[in-house]
Amino acid sequence: MDDKDRQIIRALQRDGRMSNQDLAAMVNLSPSPCLRRVRNLEKSGVIEGYSARVNARAYGLAITAFVHIRLERHDEETVQNFERQIDGMEEVLECHVMTGQTDYQLRVVVESLDAYERFIRTQLQRLGGIGSIDTSFAYGTIKNSTVFPAR
């Protein structure tokens, strides 16, 4: 992982479908060594994959909520059950284990406030073992970058 690798990574975070030729030109390499570096980054797991960035509202997901959750108990079974179930919920895009007052922070996307209430009541609450749920809604996004800082 040298400087060229980081250049490649940032270029592909900006535009993941950029052609290998353009990428090579951008980092001052010829295409074939450039491609080898990309493949290595992929195989070693540094690059985990590629995704389309999609406008959530245009897709029909008007609501983005950050949900802070505390569990009632922290025994193995409660924790594992919670995490397994969360993993299966399509509306939950992210789930982080947190320091501080809450155990987990979720990022949830749904189409409406009604759908959010439905999600909380019929999905989250039903899990059991949940101590508290605290929701904040995002009603605007100033910045949403996919590019890591340069180092």
The partner in contact with residue 103, picked from a copy of itself, DNA, none with C-beta cut-offs of 5 to 8 angstroms by kind, is none
Give, as ranges, the residues between 42 and 71 that touch a copy of itself (CB under 8 A): 44-56, 58-61, 64, 66
**Is 8 in contact with 22 (CB distance < 8 Å)?**
no
Q: How many other C-beta atoms can be found within 10 angstroms of the C-beta atom of residue 8?
A: 22
For residue 92, the minimal CB distance to a copy of itself (Å) is 6
Q: Count residues binding a copy of itself (CB under 8 A).
A: 66
Interface mask (CB under 8 A) for a copy of itself, residues 124-143, using x and -?
Answer: -----------xxxxxxxxx
Nearest C-alpha neighbor of 50 from the set 87, 10, 15, 94: 15
Integer Cα distance of 112 and 23 in angstroms:
40
What interhelical angle do 31-43 and 3-14 show, nearest 10? 80
Q: How many other C-beta atoms can be found within 10 angstroms of the C-beta atom of residue 149?
A: 6
The partner in contact with residue 76, picked from a copy of itself, DNA, none with C-beta cut-offs of 5 to 8 angstroms by kind, is none
In the complex, the residues that contact a copy of itself under the rule CB under 8 A are 1, 6, 9, 12-17, 44-56, 58-61, 64, 66, 83, 86-87, 90-102, 104-105, 109-111, 135-151
